[in-house]
Amino acid sequence: SGDYGFALVSSSGSLTNSDINVNCNGVDINGIKSVQGEDFTIEIGNNEITTDTGSGITAYDGANVELHNNDISGVGERSGITVQSSKAYVHHNEIGPIGGWNGLWLTGSFDVIAEYNSIVNTAKTPVQIGELSSSGPSPSASRLHFTNNTVSVDTPGTCSSFKYWGGEYTCPAVSLFRSGVTLYDNEFSLGGDADGIRAIGGLLDVQRNIFNTPGTGAVIRNYDSGFANTQQYGSLGFFSLNTWNGIETAYNITKSSVTVQSEFIPSSPPGLFPVILDWPDQEAWPANGFQGAIIPTPISECASCDNLTPINFPLAMSMDNNSTVFTFANLSNVDTSKIYIKSQPTQYAIQVRRAEMVRFQTLVDGMTVENTNVLIEDALGNDLYSLYTDQNGYTPWFALASDSHLDFRGLAGGDNPDGFADDEFEDSCSDGIDNDGDLTIDNNDLDCDYSAGTRELSRYYYTAYRFGFGYARSDFVIQDATYQDTINLFNSGPSVSVIQQDGHSFRKIVNFTGSAHDGQLAGFYATDELAQWDQKGYIHSIEVRDPFTSEWSSAGFAVDSSDAEPGTVTRFNHPFNSWYYSFDMTNYQETDYTFEFRSFDGIDYSPIISRTIKLNAAPPVLTVTSPSDGSTWSDGTVTFEGTAYDQYGCPIDCSKDIGEVYFYISVPSFEGTTPTSGGADWSWTWDFSGQPRSSEEYTFTIWASDSDFCLSIIDECDAVTMTLTIDNSNSAPFVSLLSPQEGQRLSVTDTTIDGVARDNDGSVSRVDITVRDIYNDGIIVHQQSVSEFDTNGAWSTEWDPTILQHDHEYAIDVRSYDGYDFSGMTTIVITADNPSDAGNNQPTFNSDGWLNEIVLYCEISSQSQDRCTQGEIDLNLFFYDLDVNQDLILSVYDADSNDDSTSPAMVINVGQDGIATYDPISMFFYDNNMETWTLENVVFMATDPFGSKEISNPVTFTVIPISFQIDAPEVTVIQDGETLIFSGIGLPGKTVTVLINQVPANNTIVEDNSTWTLGIASSRFSDGSVTPVFRYVGADYSSNVKISVGTPDEGLSTGMMAIIALVIIGLIGGVFVYFYVEIEEDDNSEVSDEDSSSEGWIWDEESNDWIEDPNYNS
């Protein structure tokens, strides 16, 4: 108690079970409590609120309140409950008596639900919706849902509004201004001459109410600010099943559109009419820019603001902008003769539409569908109703005009206009409307034929839709009768997709994934509404029939993994946008299995999709047959071979699912996994040439994979592990130097150094060249490297040898490098040819025809001075000088003059004529061992007058010791006419003569290779066996072979041959002894009496016989 009650500002909580008795407002609620976007309400309940002057309860500035079970009275200067720009749920309250103003006073932008309240004896209007005076807030989109309330005022007060109602008037039960109201199942009882409803620019849905009011049931008119060129708002109302008791007039409608159906309209006193229609303004038409036109009051303040259309409002938010329209159907005690047209600028400004009752039932697949939205449009597509079906699929009964009536001037059959639209021709053929949508109006329509008794009928369209159930659209025609029809919704079937395709392989557990949607699905939606309209439903479930289930009734269900709210489709997501289904097949045989899928949207099933998949239940098994564990490999590669087994495909085609074989290779410095193609039999060659140049033990872990097991990792496979010694140590490269050569005199014009460098296990990266001065302690005078090589390893580089001093020796060191190791050092020594006369040309050596070896022969047993062949070289053929008139000095190049061995220059004579001669016998003076007489790598040198020199290629004089040798012929018996051939060895150029019975039979000259061949004709043999004797260098040698003609000789016995061989060896030994001890005595044992028998005789080739020597002097 006291002056002030409670003030709750931006608060939450409750105020209950209190007795509030104050002078001012009992409870003031201002603002709302919000935490992290969540709004909290304030509860005011079960209170006794009595005020002296103030309001019982006020809710202002966005408050959100629940007011219930309060008893509010007093209120001498305010209203019982005042709500301004707030939300309120007002129920089970006792309001009144109110001494000040209203029971409910609602202003601003409000959203109020009031039900089961009792409002009694208010001083002014019991329910004031919106504020007529300028002192209140400006009109905004707002609504009141007023149901199951009782309003009783014994003596209504007097209200006043000169602007809108022309002065004072008895306060009505409900006053509506620029707002929406739903009045369902209420009872209004007012005394005096009060009206039931007074509405200005309102939206009214009034059904099943009882009005006990002595005045007019509903006074409905437009809102007009009174200012020129401002928009006027007509009222849009729907009245159904209301009871009007004691009224004088049921409906008084001005510049608005009202539909009334299924009511009893009481008769009016004389001079009054049950329905009064008015358009007291000028005509709104294109010529005046539709001045005075009307539209429905706004239901939202902005595009993103709340839509405050009255809850369950049945009419579409549209009206004729230039006509007062009264549509009636199934009204008792009213026809067109009782509908008074008060005033109109033209006959079109007032339209009376006789309607029929219409109802639809919506079905889908024979099942009723509740809460289906049914939109009704006229023939021109103007929205008329937006209805929802009940639990049995029925829409409410609603009125659709079947005929239209205007009060026309000049029509036959009546006094026109007479204030009523009931004359003979005041029907749809003279209403100025294209009722059937054929784009012809009134008498231009062929349907308007009075002689035939036909007129233009009204065509309408319905669009029925419920999300999740279906959609339908069609048209229908209303005649003069009640119309009922069934709307069969078409359900856009669902679809389902499975990501895994046929042949997909699963490991033990089958896990399908996919997506599903209802209707159509676009890639992008701007709003949730567009997504819902496109899909028209959602997936309720996805059924999966596994290979072991025969009936769909026993099928399994996929799991929705979309994270969408159940039954909710948004622009971004929808149920079963993603899904999965798992089936454990661990203990099943590896083979192919078929699964079937279908989705269900609550109405229909999608087409069935099947997937045949491959099951992998066990990993493959691998064996390695080669190489052996612990083996060593050093050739750059090692080949692994083996087999792999997998169950899939058995028993006909086992192991067909074997995939790759993996090798995990590890050493301390390296590890990695390498896949290679596999199969029942597999092989892989590993090239380890690129590995570190060392010998190490490598560990190989090897396993096989199939479609699901052991992919890149060992997984469940039993891997094979082996250790191999990989010898990848580097082989050093090698290098050779082709030019210059060892011992060469290098002219300063020879600027090229070339050679060959190769590497057996890689490539040579460079060759390093170093030139050292031997005379100066090996100081380095030049260094360079070569890094470009031909494919065969050849390399070449240029350098400047002018830095070398004349006649100095230099060492050229060459070695190659392969990136790991150096080759051995190759070193040659050259002599620089760089005389001071810069204009002099070095002598030139031409090796064409030059022999690398000259073979000479020396007789072992001879004491003759010419017992050796001589080697000669004409050096003039190989040395020449580019400089004219310069004689070359030719000599033996004595590089090792300090050597103790015999110098070639001491035994080789180079004459003035340039011919070099070597007679091996000259070596006898230095060494009588003939084995030492061979001269190896003799080099000759040419020197010009300026000291510039050039040397030859080396040549070897090979000395071969020989003794005269007779080889036995292949046969010892010849036939007449045949020739017997003897051969042997002797000193080249010497004569060999054969004697038969002391008579020369033939002779020959020993060839340059020390061999000789000699034939004896059969005619030279006498009867009996003959032993040929051979004369060589003044000595006779027996062949020790008996030769016969025609008859074979017994030949020599084995013993005799052995004796002969011993004698020959003894003779040869004697010769060696004789020769080396220089015994000067003649060997008379080799000279027989036959010596003189051939003197004075020579062999005649023509006669094949001996003849006298004409040049012989005894």
The span from the CA of 144 to the CA of 106, in Å, is 9
Same domain, 989 and 1065: yes
**Is residue 894 predicted with pLDDT exceeding 90?**
no
CB 251 within 8 A of CB 341: no
CB 118 within 8 A of CB 92: no
Same domain, 366 and 472: yes
Q: Any idea which residue has 């233009």 for tokens?
A: 456
pLDDT digit string (tens) for 799-832?
A: 988 888 888 899 999 999 988 889 999 999 998 8
Phi, psi for 890 (deg, rounded to 5): -105, 135
Beta pairing class for 143-147 and 949-951: unpaired
Select from 904, 939, 961 the last residue of a domain: 961
Same domain, 812 and 879: no
Q: Which of helix, strand or coil describes residue 738?
A: strand
Mean local confidence (pLDDT), 1001-1010: 92
**Is residue 195 predicted with pLDDT exceeding 70?**
yes
The span from the CA of 523 to the CA of 518, in Å, is 14
pLDDT digit string (tens) for 958-994?
A: 999 999 999 989 888 888 888 889 999 999 999 999 9
Contacts 24+ apart (CB under 8 A), 187-191: 187/149, 187/150, 187/151, 187/212, 188/126, 188/151, 188/152, 188/212, 188/213, 189/150, 189/151, 189/152, 189/153, 189/213, 190/151, 190/152, 190/153, 190/156, 190/214, 191/153, 191/154, 191/155, 191/156
**Which residue would you say has higher pLDDT here, 1106 or 60?**
60
Mean local confidence (pLDDT), 402-426: 71
Mean local confidence (pLDDT), 249-253: 97
Phi, psi for 305 (deg, rounded to 5): -80, 165
Select from 905, 937, 961 the last residue of a domain: 961
Expressed in angstroms, the distance from the first to the final Cα of the chain is 192
Among 170-174, 583-587, 750-754, where is mean pLDDT lowest?
A: 750-754
For the chain, give the percent of residues with pLDDT over 90: 67
**Is residue 538 predicted with pLDDT exceeding 60?**
yes
pLDDT digit string (tens) for 577-609?
A: 999 999 999 999 999 999 999 999 999 999 999
Nearest to 176 by CA among 121, 104, 225: 104
Among 902-906, 930-934, 1018-1022, 1104-1108, where is mean pLDDT lowest?
A: 1104-1108
Per-residue confidence (pLDDT) for residue 706, from 0 to 100? 93
Same domain, 1104 and 1021: yes
**Is residue 1086 predicted with pLDDT exceeding 60?**
no
Considering the domain boundaries, does residue 205 fall inside one?
no
Select from 464, 488, 512 the last residue of a domain: 488
The CATH number linked to 517 is 2.60.40.650
Mean local confidence (pLDDT), 201-206: 98
The residues near 185 (Cβ < 8 Å, ≥ 6 apart) are 147, 148, 207, 208, 209
Per-residue confidence (pLDDT) for residue 1046, from 0 to 100? 76
Q: Could you give the strand order of the β-sheet that contains 48-51, starting from the edge strand earlier in sequence?
A: 19-22, 48-51, 71-74, 94-98, 118-120, 150-153, 187-190, 210-212, 243-245
Considering the domain boundaries, does residue 74 fall inside one?
no
Q: Which of helix, strand or coil describes residue 907?
A: helix
Same domain, 611 and 631: no
The CATH number linked to 749 is 2.60.40.10
Same domain, 350 and 479: yes
Same domain, 1014 and 952: no
Per-residue confidence (pLDDT) for residue 543, from 0 to 100? 98
| Number of domains within the chain | 6
The residues near 203 (Cβ < 8 Å, ≥ 6 apart) are 143, 179, 180, 181, 235, 236, 237, 296, 297, 299, 309, 310, 313
pLDDT digit string (tens) for 316-341?
A: 999 999 999 999 999 999 998 899 99
Considering the domain boundaries, does residue 45 fall inside one?
no
pLDDT digit string (tens) for 687-734?
A: 998 888 888 999 999 999 999 999 999 999 999 999 999 998 888 898
- Count CB atoms within 10 A of the CB of residue 965: 16
Identity of the residue numbered 5: G
pLDDT digit string (tens) for 464-484?
A: 999 999 999 999 999 889 999
Confidence of residue 1068 (pLDDT cuts 50, 70, 90): very low
Per-residue confidence (pLDDT) for residue 1109, from 0 to 100? 66
Q: Using CA atoms of 301, 304, 306, 310 in order, give the dihedral in degrees to the nearest 10.
A: 70
Same domain, 511 and 552: yes
- Give the pair of three-digit tokens for residue 145: 């849902």
Considering the domain boundaries, does residue 120 fall inside one?
no
Considering the domain boundaries, does residue 110 fall inside one?
no
DSSP result, 449-485: BTTTTB-PPEEEEEEEEETTTEEEEEEEEE-SS-EEE
pLDDT digit string (tens) for 87-120?
A: 999 999 999 999 999 999 999 999 999 999 999 9
Same domain, 893 and 862: yes
Confidence of residue 1069 (pLDDT cuts 50, 70, 90): very low
Same domain, 1091 and 1013: yes
- Give the pair of three-digit tokens for residue 595: 């699964």
Same domain, 866 and 936: yes
Per-residue confidence (pLDDT) for residue 515, from 0 to 100? 97
Alpha helix locations (H) across 217-375? Answer: none
Nearest to 922 by CA among 963, 961, 962, 866: 866
Range of the domain at 429: 346-488
Please report, for residues 507, 538, 542, 902, the alpha-carbon distance to residue 522 in angstroms, rounded to integers and kept in the order given: 34, 14, 21, 109
Per-residue confidence (pLDDT) for residue 1050, from 0 to 100? 45
Mean local confidence (pLDDT), 510-524: 94
Among 8-12, 138-142, 1099-1103, where is mean pLDDT lowest?
A: 1099-1103
Nearest to 679 by CA among 706, 711, 651, 652: 706
**Is residue 426 predicted with pLDDT exceeding 70?**
yes
Per-residue confidence (pLDDT) for residue 731, from 0 to 100? 83
Please report, for residues 543, 576, 934, the alpha-carbon distance to residue 559 in angstroms, rounded to integers and kept in the order given: 10, 8, 104
CB 361 within 8 A of CB 369: no
For the chain, give the percent of residues with pLDDT over 70: 92
pLDDT digit string (tens) for 767-811?
A: 999 999 998 888 998 999 999 999 999 999 999 888 888 888 999
The span from the CA of 785 to the CA of 627, in Å, is 43
Please report, for residues 779, 858, 960, the alpha-carbon distance to residue 1009 in angstroms, rounded to integers and kept in the order given: 50, 12, 10
SS3 per-residue string spanning 1050-1061: CCCCHHHHHHHH
The span from the CA of 182 to the CA of 450, in Å, is 43
Considering the domain boundaries, does residue 769 fall inside one?
yes
**Is residue 129 predicted with pLDDT exceeding 80?**
yes
Residue 900 CA to chain centroid, in angstroms? 84
pLDDT digit string (tens) for 350-398?
A: 899 999 999 999 999 999 999 999 999 999 999 999 999 999 999 999 9
Per-residue confidence (pLDDT) for residue 730, from 0 to 100? 82
Per-residue confidence (pLDDT) for residue 1100, from 0 to 100? 63
Considering the domain boundaries, does residue 190 fall inside one?
no
Same domain, 482 and 367: yes
**Is residue 459 predicted with pLDDT exceeding 70?**
yes
Confidence of residue 666 (pLDDT cuts 50, 70, 90): very high
Mean local confidence (pLDDT), 188-209: 97
**Which residue would you say has higher pLDDT here, 876 or 1074?**
876
Per-residue confidence (pLDDT) for residue 1071, from 0 to 100? 39
Considering the domain boundaries, does residue 1024 fall inside one?
yes
Per-residue confidence (pLDDT) for residue 1083, from 0 to 100? 42
**Is residue 1060 predicted with pLDDT exceeding 90?**
no
Residue 487 CA to chain centroid, in angstroms? 50
**CA atoms lying within 13 Å on the CB side of residue 309:** 12
- Give the pair of three-digit tokens for residue 560: 């929705």
